[in-house]
Structure 1
């Protein structure tokens, strides 16, 4: 019988409680300041990052391949036969390619590295759904086959206060050139089928951004039952307002608040982000 391990990078923004509950192995990004380095989520919190950002925007680096190999060897020693690794979109990071190449040379476990083509809890939900499939006793081949379908049912929408951090981090992609800062125009950003950012629509000010996010959420629930995860990056009040409004929509199976953007992503989005992940459910 397959004994399947599950790994993900820290950009998935899965909370510690769920990591422990489902025995998910975390591969942290590095947060690199001029005077100190941190393992994302393990050695630095989002609150600390936002305190430090006005002084210095740190760099980030990929999860350690040495750490990956150490985890895989430990899992093999513990009797695991297979490992599934879910990563951030390859459009935002080299993590997928580096993990895939590393696993090609690892022969103690049969591995599958899956590109979520997303980030934050849109990536995290794929991981959690895979964890539930493992709990149900699905085989490695069955789960690998189901992952693309899981990914196709999950979308992400969010707004941010400023594009400054995306610009400086080189992550702006197709969002570039769409915002007039002087006019207080803010983007509602999503991720396309290729795993890149794109502007879904624009709003003038925070109140209109919230209204447009709610309208998008409602469009999903008109013909589908849906689960929602409301996220924020140092914008909890806005996230709470959005969550309460989504809960009042029809066909909302669940709406959870409290999924903070982790330090590795917060470096590139800055404070003032809020939005949601939505999953269509059968």
Structure 2
């Protein structure tokens, strides 16, 4: 039962060094940018700096999910080795990627009836998905079987808290997250919304901060209020080409709670298309993600 491979997709935004070290197979989403189509492959084909500098210059990227054939190619190679598969995927509430994986699973089972392909929807993205990937790999290394890991993710995914702030509301507007009116008013009033993911894995607004400093303080406050057994947990922080703010957030968190580790990494091009330059997000396991008052609606 332990002869299985953990697979993910590029929305997990993990450091490429981690993906290479752990030899984790992944399926790339794509980003159309500056007239070219790039694989979202953790900064290799399109560097984080080039992507965000282009956005700052006014370029508008477009993203596309992988089709079922892309998943099939990755799955088939593993199945031919006689191994089972556990796919740890981006939220189905944010992308159709999970659906493509499910179609590929059925294609595999048609071609290889004895194959074992399990999918788990993390109901999150970026380093939230990456955090679940880390947990899955650690559990596998400690002897857990495929179904124990899948059950852990399903049982704990609503404890995976996500808090996000963005610098430019227009990227959210283009992604359909907020209205044009809200984007204009927010920009004029220097409002920095705090966003989270609901139980369906969709983006919702929960707070309006006045200015960047206030937004960073609010993110840290949410971590300190909602994390449980912090000394056992990894806090993941990702950013849209603004590492200095990620470090400020790390410092604010560590001044209040002591955690096992803090992972900081840039947001990849696909997720970064919707957050834009200056986006900042924090992910951690703690209290149920909806255990707070929703106090704002940016729609």
User: Does 2:23 correspond to 1:27?
Assistant: no
**Is 173-182 or 247-256 further displaced after alignment?**
173-182
- Name 2:240's counterpart in structure 1: 233
Distance in structure 2 (CA, Å) of the matches to 1:101 and 1:73: 13
Structure 1 unmatched runs, 5+? none
Q: CA RMSD in A?
A: 2.2
Shift of 1:191: 0.7
- Name 1:126's counterpart in structure 2: 132
Shift of 1:206: 0.6
Distance in structure 2 (CA, Å) of the matches to 1:213 and 1:174: 23
How many matched pairs?
277
User: Does 2:43 correspond to 1:37?
Assistant: no
Q: Deviations over 1:213-238 (max 9, x none)?
A: 121122124x5324311221111111
User: Does 2:210 correspond to 1:204?
Assistant: yes
Larger fraction in strand: 1
Distance in structure 2 (CA, Å) of the matches to 1:136 and 1:165: 41
User: Does 2:222 correspond to 1:216?
Assistant: yes
Distance in structure 2 (CA, Å) of the matches to 1:249 and 1:275: 18
TM-score after normalising by structure 2: 0.85
Shift of 1:176: 8.4
Distance in structure 1 (CA, Å) of the matches to 2:147 and 2:253: 36
- Name 2:254's counterpart in structure 1: 247
- Name 1:69's counterpart in structure 2: 72
- Name 1:99's counterpart in structure 2: 101
Specify the SS of the correspondent of 2:108.
Answer: coil
Q: Deviations over 1:126-173 (max 9, x none)?
A: 111111222122222222222212313311112111121121133x16
TM-score after normalising by structure 1: 0.90
Specify the SS of the correspondent of 2:162.
Answer: strand
Specify the SS of the correspondent of 1:149.
Answer: helix
Structure 2 unmatched runs, 5+? 288-299
